[in-house]
Amino acid sequence: MYSPIFAGCLFPSGTTLSLSHHKVFCAEAEFGFVMGSPLPPREECYTQEEVWAAVRSYEPCIELCGARFTTATAKASPYHLLADAMNNAAVIRGIPLVPPPATPPAAALTGGSCLVRLLVDGKEASSGTGEENPADSPLGALTFLANDLSRRGKTLEAGHFVIAGHTCQVAFSSRPAPPSARTLSQAPVCGARVVPDAAVEFGAHSVLEAYHEGCGTVRAILVD
């Protein structure tokens, strides 16, 4: 499954964001891709090598998960919650890396060799690898998207920006998720856990960082 990202939800690394304004309850470290060439519909599936060859750049990202529901609609079903742009409130974008042309997919993007760490005020709160992504790797998730769009007669266009699913995540203990978000792990539409068991404390002014081994670091300053 996937959803659009609103243009107004994209911010550069170092941005100060209000958790209250965006109703943020969770942060996820992800890899982002910018497409350099289109992948139009065709009968045969695209391979990871073909998708990688179409990538213009990739970058470390932090997705901040929030809900645009009001108090009156906070008990919306998990399906409604996912329909709200899959809880995408903001994406913090790091410095892009340009892959060398005609090379095999980078090891950091194809599975468990890449360590990703989320830190809050300098303390590690969560960690994971590319294997935590849908399809077991960031590039695998991007390849799924290209092929799913293709079978629907749609093109993954040049210039499209795609985030590939979380590698690790943290919840903010003082920022509870909408009730239905807590049941997403049991919902048939979502196999991944959305809200971690262990939440971290959030101060009045916290620095959130995601360190992507072999890719870079991205950070956001979070205020209440």
CA distance 88 to 118: 18
Other Cβ atoms less than 10 A from the Cβ of 136: the count is 15
User: In terms of DSSP H, where are the helices of the chain?
Assistant: 19-22, 48-53, 78-83, 138-151
- Return the amino acid letter for 125: A
Q: What is the pLDDT of residues 17-69, one digit of tens each?
A: 998 888 888 899 999 999 999 999 999 999 998 999 999 999 999 999 887 77
* pLDDT of amino acid 132: 83
Query: In degrees rounded to 5, what are phi and psi of residue 56?
Result: -85, -40
CB 19 within 8 A of CB 172: yes
Q: What is the pLDDT of residues 85-117, one digit of tens each?
A: 878 899 999 999 987 666 656 665 766 667 899
Q: DSSP readout, 150-196?
A: HHTT--B-TT-EEEEEEEEEEEETTSPPPGGGGGGGGSTT--S-SS-
Q: Which helix (H) or strand (E) holds 124?
A: strand 123-129
Identify the structural domains of the chain with CATH numbers, from first to last: 7-218 (3.90.850.10)
Q: Quote the pTM value.
A: 0.85
